[in-house]
């Protein structure tokens, strides 16, 4: 793995001046003056060491066990980086009041790529997180000094029943919004005073509903004490939602079915982006001025963290998602799937002696790659496959040279 890993590029800079670092594969990193600090907030007095690794090919991804996943969501990458800064043998971070700029060369200028951060340990198994959060909670990467209660919007959602998102169970609707969970989230609009009443409840609002043989909710009942205005507004909404898909449904007329509504505080990404731009645009403008004039085909991001960096977008595929199962003749191996049509790679998880690739679009064409190390020699098995519910087996491990490995991994 070390032999196919990208070069570790080393630079020495003066942290008191503006610096542009150019990677071997086209990445540009602009670090403004006095942006680097020790974790205790003190400023380095001497020269600073910068380490940069650029990951752009399949073999480079595999060398560090990297995949293109954000929790259970598949990403398509435009390239990954690892950036580390140190002085006097101690790690440096970006000052809370500053940012630095990263420019990636565009592989596909039509895609709206975003910045993601991974864990900063420098090891593999990185789980990528969007640099600015989309939902409530303190996640990776955003500037907490810019966040206050005004950036959160209160929305009413179905809560506490994650299986209600399934289109394979009885909560599927005959409507493009697909299921009860999605329909409520996108269409329930209460007057401001009623929205506040629901959000002020000490607990979830439990609703009991009755469904007729045609899939329509014809009656609702509330266990919790609510005002007449709130209960009538919610009852009218549910009596007017589209019918459930009775081909999937497990409802019986006369039975009572329950679910909860709750108030969800959702992070307003657009408001945060405006604040971020106001605070950090000066650094990006300065970076663009200093970058090469010919570098027009680039993605430019403002970043506030070092470590693992990824230029990605969430791959949106409307096809059914399944867990893809791969058996290998060598369980003591690393197994990956590389997608044919997008620049994405997944590492398999060993479960009960099989490699599992979760939440993968059905009928996607992929390349299976398994690498093992037995009897003191490395072996590799590669084969084409299509994602389906039928488990696939891969065998025929063969010894290889480093050049053969890189050629096999990186060819189309």
Residues 137 and 276 in one domain: yes
Mean per-residue pLDDT, 33-56: 94
Range with top average pLDDT, 69-73, 218-222, 289-293: 218-222
Please, which residues have CB within 8 angstroms of residue 309's CB and are 6 or more apart in sequence?
Answer: 80, 81, 82, 83, 102, 115, 116, 117, 118, 303
Which of 266, 285, 304 is a domain's end point?
Answer: 266
pLDDT at 108: 66
Band of residue 137 on the pLDDT scale cut at 50, 70, 90: very low
Residues 137 and 171 in one domain: no
Range with top average pLDDT, 73-77, 122-126, 349-353: 73-77
Does the structure show a pLDDT above 50 at 395?
Answer: yes
pLDDT at 297: 59
Residues 117 and 100 in one domain: yes
Residues 142 and 278 in one domain: yes
Query: Angle between the 228-239 and 192-199 helix axes, to the nearest 10 degrees?
Result: 100
Band of residue 132 on the pLDDT scale cut at 50, 70, 90: low
Which backbone phi and psi does 73 adopt, to 5 degrees? -100, 135
**Could you tell me the CATH number of the domain that includes residue 374?**
2.60.40
Looking only at the bridges linking them, the beta strands covering 377-386 and 345-347 are unpaired
The domain total for the chain is 3
pLDDT at 99: 85
Does the structure show a pLDDT above 60 at 265?
Answer: yes
Residues 17 and 125 in one domain: yes
**What does the alpha-carbon distance between residue 357 and residue 318 come to, in Å, rounded to a whole number?**
18
Convert the pLDDT of each residue in 53-89 to its tens digit. 999 988 889 888 888 988 888 999 999 999 999 999 9
Range with top average pLDDT, 31-35, 172-176, 183-187, 250-254: 31-35
Convert the pLDDT of each residue in 147-160 to its tens digit. 677 777 777 888 75
Burial class (CB in 10 A: 0-12, 13-18, 19+), 78: buried
The position carrying tokens 């590029």 is: 9
Residues 255 and 398 in one domain: no
**What does the alpha-carbon distance between residue 180 and residue 261 come to, in Å, rounded to a whole number?**
11
Of 118-122, 235-239, 350-354, least confident by mean pLDDT is: 118-122
3-state secondary structure string, 307-372? Answer: EEEEEEEECCCCCCEEEEEEEECCCCEEEEEEECCCCCEEECEEECCEEEEEEEECCCEEEEEEEE
Model-level pTM greater than 0.75? no
The domain in which residue 388 lies consists of 321-410
Residues 277 and 359 in one domain: no
Cα 51 to Cα 7, 23, 34, 119, 124: the distances in Å are 10, 10, 18, 16, 17
CB 357, CB 378: distance < 8 Å: no
- In this structure, what token pair is assigned to residue 260? 């909860």
Residues 214 and 230 in one domain: yes
Does the structure show a pLDDT above 70 at 124?
Answer: no
Does the structure show a pLDDT above 90 at 11?
Answer: yes
Does the structure show a pLDDT above 90 at 392?
Answer: yes
The position carrying tokens 């002696």 is: 353
**Could you tell me the CATH number of the domain that includes residue 302?**
2.60.220.30
Residues 160 and 238 in one domain: yes
Percent of residues, the chain, with pLDDT higher than 70: 83
Edge-to-edge strand list for the sheet holding 19-22: 19-22, 28-31, 100-105, 298-303
Edge-to-edge strand list for the sheet holding 392-394: 349-351, 354-361, 321-328, 392-394
CB 130, CB 116: distance < 8 Å: yes
Band of residue 281 on the pLDDT scale cut at 50, 70, 90: low
Residues 257 and 197 in one domain: yes
Which of 279, 296, 314 is a domain's end point?
Answer: 314
**What does the alpha-carbon distance between residue 66 and residue 81 come to, in Å, rounded to a whole number?**
11
CB 251, CB 244: distance < 8 Å: yes
Does the structure show a pLDDT above 50 at 408?
Answer: yes
pLDDT at 163: 47
Does the structure show a pLDDT above 50 at 208?
Answer: yes
Residues 187 and 170 in one domain: yes
Residues 330 and 390 in one domain: yes
Does the structure show a pLDDT above 70 at 145?
Answer: no
Largest CA distance in the chain: 77
Cα 259 to Cα 210, 248, 250, 254: the distances in Å are 12, 18, 15, 16
Does the structure show a pLDDT above 90 at 402?
Answer: no
User: For residues 13 and 168, which has the higher predicted lDDT (pLDDT)?
Assistant: 13
**What does the alpha-carbon distance between residue 380 and residue 293 come to, in Å, rounded to a whole number?**
44
């Amino acid at each position: 793995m070390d032999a196919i890993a990208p070069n570790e590029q080393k630079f020495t800079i003066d942290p008191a001046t503006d610096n542009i670092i150019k990677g071997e594969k086209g990445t540009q990193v602009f670090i403004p003056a006095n942006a680097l600090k020790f974790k205790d907030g003190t400023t380095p007095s001497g020269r600073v060491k910068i380490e940069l690794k650029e990951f752009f090919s399949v073999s480079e991804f595999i060398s560090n066990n990297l995949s293109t996943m954000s929790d259970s969501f598949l990403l398509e990458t435009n390239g990954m980086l690892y950036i580390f800064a140190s002085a006097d043998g101690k790690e440096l971070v970006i000052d809370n009041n500053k940012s630095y700029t990263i420019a990636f060369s565009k592989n596909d200028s039509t895609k709206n790529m975003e910045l993601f951060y991974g864990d900063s340990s420098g090891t593999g198994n990185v789980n990528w997180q969007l640099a600015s959060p989309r939902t409530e909670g303190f996640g990776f990467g955003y500037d907490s000094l810019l966040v206050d209660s005004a950036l959160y919007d209160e929305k009413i959602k179905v809560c506490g029943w994650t299986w209600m998102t399934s289109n394979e169970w009885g909560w599927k609707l005959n409507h493009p919004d697909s299921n009860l969970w999605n329909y409520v989230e996108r269409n329930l609009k209460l007057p401001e005073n009623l929205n506040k009443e629901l959000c002020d409840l000490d607990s979830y609002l439990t609703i009991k509903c009755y469904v007729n043989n045609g899939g329509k909710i014809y009656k609702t009942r509330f266990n919790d004490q609510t005002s007449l205005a709130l209960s009538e507004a919610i009852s009218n909404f549910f009596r007017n939602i589209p019918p459930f898909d009775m081909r999937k449904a497990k409802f019986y007329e006369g039975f009572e079915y329950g679910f909860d509504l709750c108030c969800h505080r959702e992070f307003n990404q657009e408001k945060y982006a405006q604040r971020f731009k106001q605070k950090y645009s000066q650094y990006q403008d300065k970076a663009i001025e200093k970058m090469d004039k010919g570098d027009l085909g680039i993605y430019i991001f403002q970043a506030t963290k070092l470590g693992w960096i990824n230029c990605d977008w969430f791959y949106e595929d409307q096809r059914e998602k399944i867990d893809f199962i791969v058996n290998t003749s060598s369980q003591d191996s690393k197994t990956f799937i590389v997608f044919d049509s997008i620049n994405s790679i997944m590492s398999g998880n060993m479960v009960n002696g099989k490699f599992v690739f979760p939440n993968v679009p059905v009928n996607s064409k992929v390349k299976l790659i398994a690498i093992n190390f037995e009897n003191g020699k490395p072996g590799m098995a590669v084969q084409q496959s299509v994602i389906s519910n039928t488990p696939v087996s891969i065998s025929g491990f063969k010894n290889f040279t480093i050049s053969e490995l890189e050629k096999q991994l990186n060819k189309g």
